[in-house]
Amino acid sequence: MIQVKPITSFTGFHLEQFGVFTHPSVKPFPVSPYEERYRAVYHAGGDRYYKREPNTSLHQFLSTSQIASGNVAVLGCGEGRNISLFASSQWAVFGLDLSPSALHRAYQDYRDFAMVKFICADVTKEVPDRLVGKLDLVIAIGLVHMLTDQRDRMNLYAIVMMMLKPGGYFFLESNGDLNADTAEILAGGKIEMRTIQTPVGEKQIPLVRLQTVMLNGQTMRNELEQSGLQVVSMDSGTFRHPDTPRKQIVVVSRR
């Protein structure tokens, strides 16, 4: 199993204007592909890339599970739409993302919530020590299919293991096909029209398609179990997007 060392002294500095703690290892250049995408969206007059509504499957999971409070980390939280499911209840919430621009948008919505903190970090590389062994729930919506290199996914799962308390849960949703025989990389680079959110409604702008991986169920299960996580359930999602017709929802627990 890949070993990820915790950052023993988290000396992140505070970006006053963002309200975001940034780990010093996150450098301004080169910017990540998703940071470039968010910048293109905001440059084109978008105030958001994603709609504000939280993820439907996560909402369902929370309303049917017994987990009602504790510490939760939302990995790859982007502009923070899923934070709303936790922000006004008994949760301490940590939103982590590699993109400072998206975190800035998220922070604007939650600046008055003392229990919501944002951390700019690469969640395949670093785990702030204040989160090690502290989390009851870890969420990753739309993150795993961005990690096309298996080593990054294994690092992510090792980090999730380190963050979770024993018995804690990891809820992930990613593009993929539970029933496919193999995983498939979908090439990036093509320019395509995507919908963004502006103050006066939706707008279409050209954006570069990012490379993603459509994991099949067996690969997903193997990687999680090799990381020491226990798969509780795997389901095909309910949400359908024309470009990404299949979703998978996986609930995992730390033994």
Ligand X SMILES: C[S@@+](CC[C@H](N)C(=O)[O-])C[C@H]1O[C@@H](n2cnc3c(N)ncnc32)[C@H](O)[C@@H]1O
Q: Give min distance, CB of 76 to ligand X, in A.
A: 3
Applying CB under 6 A, among 4, 73, 141, 178 the residue interacting with ligand X is 141
The β-bridge partners of 41 are: none
Question: Cα torsion for 128, 39, 137, 231, to the nearest 10°?
Answer: -110
Q: Which one of the spans 7-15, 97-105, 176-184, 247-255 is the region binding ligand X (CB under 6 A)? A: 97-105
Using CA of residue 102, residue 106, residue 108, residue 112, what is the dihedral sign?
negative
Q: Note every long-range contact of 58-67, with CB atoms under 8 Å and residues 24 or more positions apart, other chains counting.
A: 58/82, 58/85, 58/139, 58/141, 58/171, 58/173, 59/85, 61/171, 61/249, 61/251, 65/169, 67/136, 67/137, 67/169
Q: Using CA of residue 72, residue 210, residue 109, residue 26, what is the dihedral sign?
A: positive
Q: How many residues bind ligand X (CB under 6 A)?
A: 19
Binding mask 153-182 for ligand X (x = CB under 6 A): ------------------------------
Does 46 bind ligand X (CB under 6 A)? Our answer is no
Q: Which is nearer to ligand X, 83 or 166 (CB)?
A: 83
83 makes contact with ligand X (CB under 6 A): no
Instruction: Rule CB under 6 A: choose which of 4, 41, 73, 102 binds ligand X.
Output: 102
Q: Does 98 bind ligand X (CB under 6 A)?
A: yes
Residue with tokens 């050209």: 206
Contact residue for ligand X among 143, 159, 229, 250 (CB under 6 A)? 143
Using CB under 6 A, list all residues that contact ligand X.
34, 50, 55, 76-78, 81-82, 97-99, 102, 122-124, 141-143, 146
